[in-house]
Amino acid sequence: MSDEQTARAALSRLMEPQDSAGLALIRVAGAVDALRIAVGELKAGPTLEQNISAALQDAGGTGAWAGLTESKKRWGPRITDLAPERDLATIARLGGRVVIPGDELWPRQLTDLDLHEPIILWWRGPEEALPEPTKAVALVGSRDSTSYGGTVTGDLAYSLAQRGFSIVSGGAYGIDAHAHRSALAGGVGQLSTIAVMAGGVDRFYPSGNEDLLRAVSRKGAILAEVPPGSAPTRYRFLQRNRLIAALAGATVVVEARWRSGALNTAHHAENLGRAVGAVPGSIHSANSAGCHRLLREGAAVCVTDAGEIVELVSPSGAGLADSPDGPDSPHDGLTLEDLILLDALPLRSVTSVEKLCVVAGLSPNSVRAGLGRLGLLGLAFAERGGWKRGRISE
C-alpha cells in the first residue's frame, strides 16, 4: 500500500466529488502533501495558493477562488472521520482494490475529465482493465421505465454485448438494471458490464438490485469515487454521471422524463466530446419526453438499433447499420423519364410505342430507348407485338 494510495483514499473521504479547489490542491502539491495541508499538518505558502488559483483558471474555472482557508473550512469537519487504512481493508475484504491515476488499471479515458478526474476509484470485480471507450457504451434512463423502455434496453444491451461491447450504467432500477442484466446475458468476454455507483461499493444499492449487482461484481466491474460507507446523495448521483459519460465512447438515453438524471449524463458526455444518442418513443409517453428533448435540441443523435449505436461509438464502423427494408428497390436510380415511362406501361394489357408517347409525354426515340433500359432491369417486356410492365416492378 503506497503512501500515495493511502493519501488518495483519505482525500476521497474529505472532499466531495468534483471539489475543484481540492483537486487543484492535489494537482499542484501532490496527494500526500495535499492531505497534510488539508488536515493542517503542513502549512501552505502564498505560492501554493497562487498555483491552485492558476490551476483552477486553467481548467476553465469561473469566478474568484475564496482561498485555501475557506476550502479548509469545508474539509475540516470531516477530518475526525478519516480512517483510510480501515477503508482500504474494507475494499480488500470485499475482494476489490483501489486504483489511482498512474496505475496500470487506471482508465486513461478519465483523463478527459481534466481537473475533475476522480481522486481514486474504489473497484469491485475481476482485476482486469476496463475496455477502451470505443468498446464501451453507456445505456442510461429512467428508474420507472416502461415495458417499451425495458424491452428496448434489453435488446440493445444484449446485442451490443454480443458484439463485444461493454455496457456502462448506474446500477439503478429501471433502464440501468435492464442494461446490466442483458449485458451479463449477452456478454461474450469479461467485463460485459460496468456499474458506476453514487455511494460506496460496499453496499449494493438499491437493495432490490442486490442480486444483480452481486453478479456484476463477479463478471463485470462496480466502481465508485467515494469510499466505502458513503451515502448515495443526490449531489453524488449527479457527479457520478460524469464518470459514466467519461468511461463510455457513447452515451445513449433510452427513456427519460423531461427532467431526468439521464439527461445530466448526456450533457456530461456532450461536454466531454463523447457521442450522445437518444432512443425515440411514443410522443404520448412521458418517459420518452427527455429523449425527444435531446433530439429536438440537437444534443443527441436518433438511434433505433445496436448497429446505429456502433456507428456512434466507432464512426469507422459506419455502414454497419442496416436499412430496414433490405436491398434497394429496382426503381432506385431510374431517371425521371424512365420513371414516367414505367408509370405509363400497363400491367395486364399491352400497349404500343405510339400510345406510350402520348401517355408518358415522351418522344418516340426516348420511349424506345427507355423501354430498352427498363427491359434490361426486368421492369418492362415485349409481348404480342406491344409492351407491358415487368412483374418485378410490382
**Residue 151: which of 279, 23, 41, 338 has the closest Cα?**
279
If the CB atoms of residues 12 and 90 are measured against a copy of itself, the closer one turns out to be 12
d(CA 231, CA 224) in angstroms, rounded, equals 11
Provide, rounded to whole angstroms, the least separation between the CB of residue 84 and a copy of itself. Answer: 16
Q: Compute the least distance from the CB of residue 255 to a copy of itself, in Å.
A: 11
Taking the least distance from each CB to a copy of itself, the nearer of 40 and 364 is 364
Q: Which C-beta is closer to a copy of itself: that of 219 or that of 229?
A: 229
Residue 16's Cβ-side half-sphere holds a number of Cα atoms within 13 Å equal to 15
At its nearest, how many Å lie between a copy of itself and the CB of residue 192?
Answer: 23
* Pick 24 or 212: Cβ nearer a copy of itself: 24
* Euclidean distance between CA atoms 60 and 52, whole angstroms: 13
Q: Please, which residue, 289 or 320, has the CB nearer to a copy of itself? A: 289
All three cell numbers of 390: 415487368
Sign of the CA dihedral running 229, 234, 237, 242:
negative
* 7/342 with CB nearer a copy of itself: 342
What are the grid coordinates assigned to 184, written together? 451479463
Please report how close the Cβ of residue 137 comes to a copy of itself at its closest, in angstroms. 16
For binding to a copy of itself (CB under 8 A), which residues are involved?
14-16, 19, 70, 73-78, 81, 148, 152, 233-235, 238, 257-259, 279-283, 286, 288-289, 291-292, 295-296, 301-305, 308, 323-325, 329, 336, 339-340, 342-344, 354, 357-358, 361-366
Minimum gap (Å) between residue 307 Cβ and a copy of itself: 12
Least distance between a copy of itself and beta carbon 8 (Å)? 16
3-state secondary structure 319-381: CCCCCCCCCCCCCCCCCHHHHHHHHHCCCCCCECHHHHHHHHCCCHHHHHHHHHHHHHCCCEE
Nearest alpha carbon to residue 73 among 24, 27, 40, 45: 40
Taking Cα atoms as reference points, which of 131, 134, 109, 141 lies closest to residue 249?
134
Q: Residue 111 or 365: which CB sits closer to a copy of itself?
A: 365
d(CA 25, CA 113): 16
Rounded CA-CA distance 99/77 in Å is 26
DSSP 315: G
Least distance CB 302 / a copy of itself (angstroms): 4
